[in-house]
Structure 1
């Protein structure tokens, strides 16, 4: 077996670092506590573990695909580099004024999220480019040089440059970079014309600032990782998962780290899409719950929904507008601070609150015995009987139920007059309702009915909570795939190499210019293909084309997908037909007599997707073999029940177990409540059904 057949997927989460090694078709996995000070330490530890399990040397690995939450966490926790913004005079406060929209119209005490950079770190230059790309006020190089001296004296590590309409004419931004390269050679520079060449200055400036803010951190980490891997004898290409669901080179990731903001969750969505294809499912709700966050994504026709704007850290009931917008190609999902490490507390109204603060891996939940004193979701799961204190993380971490009970009593029980079990019930129900509510909001925003969907649950904590979420959401079926505990890392190994190039060029269909459209698509396609070629020079590459269109005068666009022929032979009438079909599907009707305009053009270059073999459902093979029983609290019944315990490795295809039951494995635990039946499928997936639906 050659090195090309040995691939490694690595996902750094807020609590655990997941490592999956595939030697041909044989997977080996490990979960290691994330090491915050030096995340590469956990990766090297995980690599050593999986290589030992597989019986190979680290030098035999042929390719590494890596995803991380480091970029997201740095933005959420505001622990990036000392960064300056250089912008057009008169637009210094754009990232603070935002769009002036109110995500909660009637809240008189509404607090908008603070910008990443305070006003004293935002600088202006006298210049102006018009909406047509023409220069209205030329940029004076001497003024740029004076500003460069000011920035140098202030000791900035990174500089974001965002001028008005630079997506049409980037001359001024590039002049600033040339000057800064001479005056501040050690500072990193991010240009909006490269990071996010799209209209809407608030989103573009904010994305560029975010890129600059995390660039020194990510670049330093990737450099250290490369060196440590080399020292460990790992001599192979390293690629990064990006937010759009594809893979890019290490160099591209270091230059544009903002594209890594949702890299881990994107891998999870790819994993869920692969499972959906294998099981022939067209409507899937992907549920990924780890130690720090929960991610929910809608997958239709085995393809995750994508967007060109994503909000990091929505702060107000998951509402659009309450987070930090990042204008990059991204798999559209909602992410909330609800994971195994999310901390519970009681607020001033005597209500239980969970998250977004997390115990992470340092010190971790109280039950880890590493110094954590506040109760986390994992503590509640342990007290409710969902976790085996001696079998957590394959037995590598022994849990302490007494410490969980003490933390729950001290933080919640004493305030609300509850014992530890009641406090655990309340904490678990609150976090489950938070996740269910996030799923409802996401579905409503996309015009979808979740009762028509099948849930696919993965991540270390998701199988513990998935069935309860299904009960709350009215979802009748849930799949827990093999390898669910490390699903995102497996997803990295299924993802294609891809890159999406986009650009804002305004055009009305009444003034449609087919030659200009053809030239624009050719330019974008060449840019996207060039990025993919830098990752895999010999691969077959396909191009996917998309427009963002709206009726004239509307504030926002909708995505319209084109086939290759539509892009190669542009036709305004055909584009109108595609737009009206998409618009009617989303809003129920079209608008007569109005012109239509195109604002953003996008081309995604991608290598072929990993194919999934269709699965034939398992034939009934009788009840599963149990290894014992234990007490389990069933929240739907609000009582403790006796649950059968089954080792997942002993499940044969077609075997089933009627809830209540607990299915255990090294990396997670599947809870089968009294309302469900679990059935083992031929690919190792555990299929959870409502009892009525299989009767």
Structure 2
């Protein structure tokens, strides 16, 4: 029996909307409802109704006893990917009308010179110049002319523009002209949504700042109304506290504070995995973790070192650059719904296209005809035919076989089994490359980390991935299938602030430690005001300082966390990070401070891992079935266990299949499974085998 009050986390994925409910004693229940892409609110409310039904109460009673409702959504990302955003106008400094389209003239892949750049979100006739100019030190070179904004407003009105982005040269140093333009625009177009770069991304880098501001305006008209509608409906149904959203930085934020910066939600769902990593780290006994969260459409890889997850402010979504603080997540198209195909050269490909929830994999029987990773797992016996997720879907082996045979096996001249095995092996290579990008390319040895396999499909790929990069330790949470939704229940509130600095670390004649400290204190005063408004003061309010640093002459910066304003201490911290990333330092090299950063964190009471009562007994398989293990041994008659009947400290040796409510685990040949005291799965990987 669960005891109120409750914490609720809801994560909208491509196939399912996940809801996790945690009661006042730490007991957890998880629910899955089909996502509704046309109206994501319906998927959320369907999951809420499932939770209320499990308690034997109505929705109003359930929500009235919910003290924390945290939501993660891909709506901002999908708006960008599907090109369904607002019609955007852009105001720029006169003479810089084409900066957005010129970009940095850098290709992500220098060898792929034929691929076109993504479509510019603001066509040239809506990128309009404003007479003004500010220098990089903040001084005014050309005064602001309001008449040029009025002229632009007339064009925007005539063209039906729905949102306007403002990005003037060097506004990070002095936002006065952007603020004046915003006020002038509101006089002429009072109902239009306006965002200024100095509010959303006050950092050096004209193109990235412009791109971020444009994306923020582009997604606003779809994201903000959705959030307001969902918040209103939940409040009307009895939710006593305001809805919280998970941001790309892994922290939550109230619905009132997110309205001006909807672009900060582009990694909303995956970033919540940080909360789960912090929680399950207590059970693994390690603070060095790499998670692979494999859902319906993608695999998200996150690295936690010494209990800290690395952050970035340079993220790219479908070719569009955003300068916003975000958890450093590496994503590849390797989910359960990833579509497999054979290209014109006769090569097997997997992704990046996915089947989504509608029509979904062929085995779902919802109209999908193309083979996916889920179809391959079903053909190989790793999944069983029949109902899943409480009967929400039913897997058809016949449809899976037909799809793989038609689209992969026959074109390649392979058996259905070999074709399915090839799909799995290719996808796991893609997952491996994502793990290497998150670890090796950042100067970390992945073998020193425990791999955490999460997401509905992650535990089916965990043993093979761990074996491929040489890890001897794999951890699978019992809540793997709702990993991000659970993380939302364990996420602190977070706000990020940035000030551009652009000064020599060692030779700050007019801005030494005292000026640095004074600037940080100004940022802290603003941050504390926001935290206090949300109810976080004293020990509940935590502030972290950081710097963006680089050697003079370099283009890119390195983020360094440090509470000091002493040049020697900052240099030491910078050189430690730089050495790990690049393998060398310049002992006497001049270092430039580019940005000052402050993270303001409102601390919620962290969930604690509790031991699950039980006694050690011999695990008993409820059935057996042929399961494809690897290319060497093929199919093996494999015992299948009900995960809910396994208790702490039980052990078994693979191969084995374990079926959980939200996921399925495969244990490789000779791998050793031990149930942890909290009822999760720890697997010692036996190297020399592949599974």
After TM superposition, the score normalised by the length of structure 1 is: 0.93
Q: What SS is found at the alignment partner of 1:234?
A: coil
Provide the residue aligned with 1:8 in structure 2: 8
Q: 1:333 to 1:532 in 2, by over 3 A?
A: same
Q: 8 Å contact 1:269–1:286 — kept in the other structure? A: no
Provide the residue aligned with 1:77 in structure 2: 82
Q: 8 Å contact 2:90–2:128 — kept in the other structure? A: yes
Q: What SS is found at the alignment partner of 2:11?
A: strand
**Take 2:123 and 2:671, find their aligned partners in 1: how far apart are those partners?**
52
Provide the residue aligned with 1:524 in structure 2: 523
**Take 1:535 and 1:356, find their aligned partners in 2: how far apart are those partners?**
40
**Take 1:619 and 1:219, find their aligned partners in 2: how far apart are those partners?**
47
Q: 8 Å contact 2:195–2:213 — kept in the other structure? A: yes
**Take 2:667 and 2:33, find their aligned partners in 1: how far apart are those partners?**
26
Cα deviation digits, residues 474-518 of structure 1 (max 9, x gap)? 222111112111110110111111111112111212125223212
Provide the residue aligned with 2:647 in structure 1: 652
Shift of 1:349: 1.5
Provide the residue aligned with 1:318 in structure 2: none
**Take 1:327 and 1:233, find their aligned partners in 2: how far apart are those partners?**
37
**Take 1:107 and 1:302, find their aligned partners in 2: how far apart are those partners?**
38
Instruction: Indicate the larger mover: 637-646 or 607-616.
Output: 607-616
Q: 1:220 to 1:669 in 2, by over 3 A?
A: same
Cα deviation digits, residues 209-242 of structure 1 (max 9, x gap)? 1111101101111122123223433343210111
Q: What SS is found at the alignment partner of 1:295?
A: strand
Q: What SS is found at the alignment partner of 1:445?
A: helix
Q: 8 Å contact 1:87–1:124 — kept in the other structure? A: yes
> Does 2:513 match 1:514?
yes
Provide the residue aligned with 1:289 in structure 2: 294
> Does 2:321 match 1:325?
yes
Provide the residue aligned with 1:316 in structure 2: none
Q: 1:473 to 1:111 in 2, by over 3 A?
A: farther
Shift of 1:278: 3.4
Instruction: Indicate the larger mover: 298-307 or 221-230.
Output: 221-230
Provide the residue aligned with 2:626 in structure 1: 631
Q: What SS is found at the alignment partner of 1:62?
A: strand
Match of 1:258 among 254, 257, 263: 263
Provide the residue aligned with 1:549 in structure 2: 549
**Take 1:508 and 1:333, find their aligned partners in 2: how far apart are those partners?**
31
Aligned residues: CA RMSD: 2.4
Cα deviation digits, residues 564-602 of structure 1 (max 9, x gap)? xx2xxx322332333233333433332143321100101
Provide the residue aligned with 1:482 in structure 2: 478
Unaligned segments of structure 2, at least 5 residues: none
Q: 1:520 to 1:399 in 2, by over 3 A?
A: same
> Does 2:165 match 1:160?
yes
Q: 1:418 to 1:231 in 2, by over 3 A?
A: farther
Q: 1:307 to 1:174 in 2, by over 3 A?
A: same
Aligned residues: 680
Provide the residue aligned with 2:40 in structure 1: 39
Shift of 1:454: 0.8
1:140-539 superposed matches below 5 A: 140-313=145-318, 323-509=319-505, 510-511=507-508, 512-537=511-536
Q: 1:99 to 1:678 in 2, by over 3 A?
A: same
Q: What SS is found at the alignment partner of 1:115?
A: coil
Q: 8 Å contact 1:277–1:612 — kept in the other structure? A: no
Shift of 1:648: 0.5
Shift of 1:74: 1.7
Cα deviation digits, residues 123-169 of structure 1 (max 9, x gap)? 22222110101111112101110100101110011111111110111
Q: 1:261 to 1:552 in 2, by over 3 A?
A: same
Instruction: Indicate the larger mover: 187-196 or 176-185.
Output: 176-185
Q: 1:458 to 1:637 in 2, by over 3 A?
A: same
Q: 8 Å contact 2:272–2:485 — kept in the other structure? A: yes
After TM superposition, the score normalised by the length of structure 2 is: 0.94
Shift of 1:402: 0.9
**Take 1:73 and 1:215, find their aligned partners in 2: how far apart are those partners?**
12
**Take 1:227 and 1:364, find their aligned partners in 2: how far apart are those partners?**
31
Q: 1:265 to 1:44 in 2, by over 3 A?
A: same
Q: 8 Å contact 1:548–1:557 — kept in the other structure? A: yes
Shift of 1:646: 0.5
Provide the residue aligned with 2:669 in structure 1: 674
**Take 2:466 and 2:124, find their aligned partners in 1: how far apart are those partners?**
46
Q: 8 Å contact 2:2–2:27 — kept in the other structure? A: no
**Take 1:69 and 1:219, find their aligned partners in 2: how far apart are those partners?**
13
**Take 1:552 and 1:528, find their aligned partners in 2: how far apart are those partners?**
31
Unaligned segments of structure 1, at least 5 residues: 314-322
Q: What SS is found at the alignment partner of 1:178?
A: helix
Q: 1:140 to 1:197 in 2, by over 3 A?
A: same
Shift of 1:76: 2.2
> Does 2:129 match 1:124?
yes
**Take 1:581 and 1:345, find their aligned partners in 2: how far apart are those partners?**
45
Q: 8 Å contact 2:638–2:655 — kept in the other structure? A: yes
Q: What SS is found at the alignment partner of 1:236?
A: coil
Instruction: Indicate the larger mover: 124-133 or 110-119.
Output: 110-119
Q: 8 Å contact 2:611–2:679 — kept in the other structure? A: no
Shift of 1:9: 0.6
> Does 2:31 match 1:30?
yes
Shift of 1:2: 12
**Take 2:683 and 2:3, find their aligned partners in 1: how far apart are those partners?**
38
Match of 1:662 among 657, 669, 679: 657
**Take 1:162 and 1:153, find their aligned partners in 2: how far apart are those partners?**
21
**Take 2:494 and 2:90, find their aligned partners in 1: how far apart are those partners?**
30
**Take 1:368 and 1:186, find their aligned partners in 2: how far apart are those partners?**
45
